[in-house]
Amino acid sequence: MKRILLCVTLMTTSSAFAFSWQVGPGELYTLPSQVSTLVNDGDTVNIAAGVYPSDVAAWTANDLVLRGVGGFAHLESNGLSWGGKAIWVIQGDNCTVEWIEFSECQVPDHNGAGIRLEGLNLTVRHCWFHHNENGILCGAYHPSTVRIEYTEFGHHGYGDGYSHNLYIGNIDSLIFRFNYSHHADVGHELKSRAWVNVIEYNRFSNEADGTASREIDLPNGGQAYLIGNVIQQGPQSQNSNLVGFGMEGLSNPGPHELYAVNNTLVNEKPNGSFFQMPAAAYFKAYSNILAGGGSFMSSWPTTVDTLANLRSTSIAALDFLDPATLDLHLGPGSPADNTGQPAGLANSGYPLVAWHEYVHPAAGTVRCQQATLDAGAFESCITGTGDAAPPATLWIAPNPARDHIMLVGELPGSVRVRVADVTGRVVGPFDPGTARIDVSMLAPGPCVLLVDEGGTPRRAVFVKM
């Protein structure tokens, strides 16, 4: 059965009486925890930049915006936690966290986190997580999407291999873009059990002195889209494989597919592999750079589609601008220049195109789009057409309930969506902000998602059980 995924931004609803709270020196409330039990659904909490030592809290209201103002609001926990879990335990749904710094959380079971998510749907932007036992930790919640952008994670882990820079449980979807994750202590730079993982335009690196295990670990399979990432494994890594997929069993909803397009992977260990996955999964890899020691794949799956990948055991031979500082833009003599090939669409219909590039640290820019493509995460643009923007996209996130689908995406308000079954019955049109669409009246079998983007129709097929 094929389910269709993608970029997830769920529209939230706010209370008609939403209130903005001001927190900081000179305000009525000087600590975030003082308002955590007072806020109502839809409220905004503005926290003045500065350090808030030993302050921890739980947030139970929905649709909250929790943000630092004027810079990072630093929650320096000094080893404390709320409920033996995290600096912030977010139990409300559809919350957003911005410009917050989380550090130094420790708990008896060694799973102390900057954020422990116990609600549905979370957005994190422009934050800095460091020196906790986990950066963000969440369990299995449905229907739920976690979106993390423009955020840095570093130096997390108890050192036991069970705590990580991020540990995302069996949620519906993880959207991870424009982030910098580095120096996990024995654990992974990113571990996600999400059914669908969209991992684009990030830097994962344990660098010269880091002891992380895998850079990306997706242990339960599902669908994963790795596009435009810089992925580096240093000489002290605890695991010789950079990216793992389905290595704890393909227990997520299928199909089990890993797509790797226009990534730059560097292995500074003499052994290992760039990818590791079971035989039953599907693997498509186009226009990647794989530089350094080890093999492309530890053991190839049965079904593969690979083209225009550049493999070199010599990092220097790729002519990166400054590999010592992990500036992996291409120099003028790089053999990766003009060797890429278009990857087309995933089986789900997701466009396998690198629309952006990672900018260090934890930022991004539009990638030049031209007729000749370079391999790897960066394009050497000579046409001046760098302003090309990606088309609107919409996805269907997998969900165990067969009476509805979850739409994921960011689309203009003029776009309308319909869903049709094989009998010709149609539901919709729906505004693209509608996150959940009832398809209970449609017949089981192949169904079509119909998206009209300014007069240009697009279609994507999924199967209703």
- Model confidence over 316-370: pLDDT tens digits? 999 999 999 999 999 989 999 999 999 999 998 899 999 999 999 999 999 987 7
Residue 436 lies in a domain: yes
Q: What is the mean pLDDT of the chain?
A: 88
Can you tell me the distance from the alpha carbon of 79 to that of 75, in angstroms, rounded to the nearest whole number?
A: 11
The residue segments making up the domain with residue 435 are 393-464
Can the peptide bond before residue 108 be classed as cis, meaning omega within 30 degrees of 0? no
Residue 448 lies in a domain: yes
Residue 139 lies in a domain: no
Residue 249 lies in a domain: no
CA angle 161, 164, 165 (to 5 degrees): 150
Hey, what amino acid is at 213?
A: S
pLDDT at residue 368, as a whole number: 86
User: Which pair of tokens denotes residue 204?
Assistant: 């994962």
- What is the distance of C-alpha 68 from the center of its chain? 22
pLDDT tens for the chain, residues 1 to 465? 233 333 333 333 344 579 999 999 999 999 999 999 999 999 999 999 999 999 999 999 999 999 999 999 999 999 999 999 999 999 999 999 999 999 999 999 999 999 999 999 999 999 999 999 999 999 999 999 999 999 999 999 999 999 999 999 999 999 999 999 999 999 999 999 999 999 999 999 999 999 999 999 999 999 999 999 999 999 999 999 999 999 999 999 999 999 999 999 999 999 999 999 999 999 999 999 999 999 999 999 999 999 999 999 999 999 999 999 999 999 989 999 999 999 999 998 899 999 999 999 999 999 987 778 999 999 997 544 333 334 445 555 544 445 666 665 555 556 677 777 656 677 777 765 656 677 777 777 667 677 665 555 556 666 666
pLDDT at residue 384, as a whole number: 41
Residue 41 lies in a domain: no
CATH code for the domain in which residue 436 is found: 2.60.40.10
Name the pTM for this structure: 0.83
Residue 106 lies in a domain: no
Decide: 245 and 276 in contact? Cβ < 8 Å. Answer: yes
pLDDT at residue 403, as a whole number: 67
pLDDT at residue 458, as a whole number: 58
Hey, what amino acid is at 428?
A: G
pLDDT at residue 53, as a whole number: 98
Residue 452 lies in a domain: yes
Decide: 124 and 101 in contact? Cβ < 8 Å. Answer: no
Query: What total of structural domains would you count in the chain?
Result: 1
Residue 418 lies in a domain: yes
